Amino acid sequence: MGMDMTTKLRDFHQARWDEPIIFELTTPGERGVLVPEAPADVRRAGEKALAALPADMVRQEAPKLPEMGQMRVLKHYLRLSQENLGADLNIDIGQGTCTMKYSPKVNEILSRNSGIADIHPYQDESTVQGALEIVYELDRALRAISGMDAFSLQSGGGSQGLYAIISIIRAWVEHTGQLGRKDEIVTTIFSHPTNAAVAKLMGFRIITIYPGPDGRPDIEAFRAAVSDRTAALMITNPEDTGVYNHRIGEFTDLVHAHGGLCSYDQANLNGIIGVTRALESGFDLCFFNLHKTFSAPHGCGGPGSGVVGVRSSLRRFLPVPLVEKDEATGRYYLDYDLPNSVGKIKNFHGNIHAMLKALAWIRALGADGLREVARVAVLNNNYMFRNVLKIRGASAPYAPGEHRMEQVRYSWQTMKRETGVTTSDVQNRMFDFGVHYWTSHEPWVVPEPFTIEPTESYSKQELDEFLAITAEIAREAYETPEVVRSAPHRSTVHHIDHSYFDDEKKWAITWRMYRKKFDDYFVAK
């Protein structure tokens, strides 16, 4: 028998190397790697040209980079890595909405293959058939998963994917002669804030719907908001509350009745993959993050991939190029022939390594496996839901008695009122047990929020451990609140003085700024 994590909590301490800033490690003369020398003939041609360069074009002072032997560089970064907590190490279900799931290692091994790492985007199509096949096959799989007719895989992250969506909507408005008539986007407060941000960037007005008493977007407000000015609905479902909006068809119908488009933010598809699709809910565009549902790792915040699917009528607006297959020869090729393309969202073809990982994940699971992902993600979530609500001070607003989809937004409002302990305090204390926890983005529609999304990746035993940690912190909040308030206690560093981040005179965004402003340890010059 292993340790029973429901009764005994882990005696964790984050690694604490007290590692200097890399510039402090420099030893003049040391080398980390050597660069291939230019051969004699090359030098003869080159040195003459070098000498001919005007003096003001040649760098006079060498950049003040660190000088370190190879193993010292390795050691420095390995220590920093140990002072970081990735999904591979913790029960990463506290960052709800972000779908921190397992990124299979075999996919990492595959992505190191020279056949994907060492190919150039402008190689002749005949030499990159394997890469084009990956793009094409992923496109096909995503079509099956969404019901859409074409995908662009170019965007390098979620926000950029939403930006591609709004670019397409804008191009549609322009090319259908509706400029000046369709200038509004309708969204909801629980949809990702980037929806509104990118829509504003493209010159639209944004009308946001707040939740009704059941947590679903207030349909009467929605009816009041939609008009012939509505260019598009940008919405997510289920929203961050994990409540599924079963009237979604009425929303999309209403927008269509006013001649608008419907865009489905499915950055997180995890609770419904294989169960319901964008097509059946009446959407014209949809969007997935390959680094969420489709298992590509988050990499501390990128590289990721935000993919955009559209119905056939909108294909002509997609960024170029798309990958197509000549069925006669079986050859894959790049298709730049999209008459109203928005052009480029990102250089080249997007993040092929993320595409490879997503496709490999889909192929490892197949249709039944993907459905099982949704089933277990929802099962795990409802298991957590039941048990989190048993914890003193925790609650979950909206839709009482209903099952939730893949996540729940909870509230510590009761605990805060009764003990003064806030969700941010809980966050800092969670680190002491080696798990990650996030407080949700502003504005806080739900007070003192936290969002748990257990995905399909974590076992019941791990879920129980997470519950036990949460319950223990709640107990502390009521019995020894100082312990929570003064957390973290087992972290790499102690309380950080935040005044250094907002004061122009004190902030130091790089080491050179620090050296300019301070002597010794933060003694102002």
Range in contact with other proteins (rule: CB under 8 A) among 3-11, 98-106, 307-315, 472-480: 98-106
Tokens at 424, concatenated: 């941010």
Amino acid identity for residue 261 in this structure: L
Nearer to other proteins, 7 or 48 (CB): 48
CB of 376 to other proteins, least distance (A): 5
Choice between 80 and 475, CB closer to other proteins: 80
Asked if 509 is part of the footprint of other proteins (rule: CB under 8 A), the reply reads: yes
Question: Residues 412 to 441: which contact other proteins by CB under 8 A?
Answer: 416-417, 419-420, 424, 427-428, 431, 436, 438-441
In the complex, least distance from residue 328 CB atom to other proteins, rounded to whole angstroms: 18
Half-sphere exposure of 150 (CA within 13 A, CB side): 20
Name the 3-class secondary structure at 398: coil
Left, alpha or beta for 343 (phi > 0: left; psi -120 to 50: alpha)? left
Residue selected from 5, 150, 225, 477 as contacting other proteins according to rule CB under 8 A: 225
Using the rule CB under 8 A, is 113 a contact of other proteins?
Answer: yes
Q: According to CB under 8 A, which one of 4, 125, 337, 402 is a site residue for other proteins?
A: 402
> Quick one: CA dihedral 235, 241, 243, 247, positive or negative?
negative
d(CA 360, CA 295): 10
* 181 lies in the binding site for other proteins (CB under 8 A): no
Contact segment (CB under 8 A) with other proteins among 1-9, 298-306, 308-316, 469-477 equals: 298-306
Does 249 help bind other proteins (rule: CB under 8 A)?
Answer: yes
Question: Which of the ranges 111-119, 258-266, 321-329, 472-480 carries the binding residues for other proteins, by CB under 8 A?
Answer: 111-119
Which residue of 5, 68, 234, 388 would you call a contact of other proteins, by CB under 8 A?
Answer: 68
CB-based burial of residue 33 (10 Å sphere; 0-12 exposed, 13-18 middle, 19+ buried)? exposed
Residues 153, 143 contacting (CB under 8 angstroms): no
* CB of 231 vs other proteins, minimal distance in Å: 13
Q: Which helix (H) or strand (E) holds 449?
A: strand 449-452
Task: Select from 22, 324, 333, 483 the one that contacts other proteins (CB under 8 A).
Answer: 22
Token reading at 419: 């003990």
> Quick one: which of 3, 8, 81, 389 contacts other proteins (CB under 8 A)?
81
Q: Is 66 in the site for other proteins (CB under 8 A)?
A: yes
Helix (H) or strand (E) holding 365: helix 352-388
Binding residues among 265-294 for other proteins as defined by CB under 8 A:
272, 274-277, 280-281, 289, 291
Q: Classify 136 as helix, strand or coil.
A: helix
Instruction: Determine, following the binding rule CB under 8 A, whether residue 62 of this chain makes contact with other proteins.
Output: yes
* 521 is a site residue for other proteins (CB under 8 A): yes
For other proteins, which stretch binds (CB under 8 A), given 1-9, 11-19, 255-263, 468-476? 11-19
Identified binder of other proteins from the candidate list 9, 10, 149, 221, rule CB under 8 A? 221
Q: Which is nearer to other proteins, 76 or 311 (CB)?
A: 76
Contact pick of 5, 232, 261, 345 for other proteins (by CB under 8 A): 345
**DSSP H stretches of helix in 147-227:** 158-175, 193-201, 219-225
Could you tell me which of 276, 269, 265, 283 has the C-alpha nearest to residue 164? 265
Asked whether 291 and 359 are in contact (CB, 8 A), the reply is: no
Cβ atoms of 429 and 486 closer than 8 Å:
no
Distance CA 93, CA 29 (A): 46
CB of 17 vs other proteins, minimal distance in Å: 9
Enter the tokens of residue 199: 């829509």
Asked if residue 525 lies in contact with residue 518, where contact means CB atoms within 8 angstroms, the answer is: yes
Binding-site size for other proteins (CB under 8 A) equals: 242
Distance CA 251, CA 236 (A): 12
Q: Is 287 strand, coil or helix?
A: strand
Interface pick for other proteins out of 236, 263, 293, 380 (rule CB under 8 A): 380
Closest distance of CB 479 from other proteins, Å: 15
User: Which residues in 434-493 contact other proteins (CB under 8 A)?
Assistant: 436, 438-445, 447, 456-460, 482, 488, 491-493
Return the residue of 151, 172, 222, 466 that touches other proteins, per CB under 8 A.
Answer: 222
Residue type, 101: K
Q: Which is nearer to other proteins, 220 or 313 (CB)?
A: 220
Q: Is residue 349 part of the contact set for other proteins (CB under 8 A)?
A: yes
Q: Burial level of 218, CB count in 10 A (0-12/13-18/19+)?
A: middle
Residue 393, judged by CB atoms within 10 A of its CB (0-12, 13-18, 19+), counts as buried
DSSP 395: B
Nearest residue (CB) to other proteins, 361 versus 466:
361
Cβ 341 to other proteins shortest distance, Å = 9
Contacts of 372 (CB under 8 A, 6+ apart): 365, 456
Q: Among residues 4, 253, 259, 348, which is the contact residue for other proteins, using CB under 8 A?
A: 348
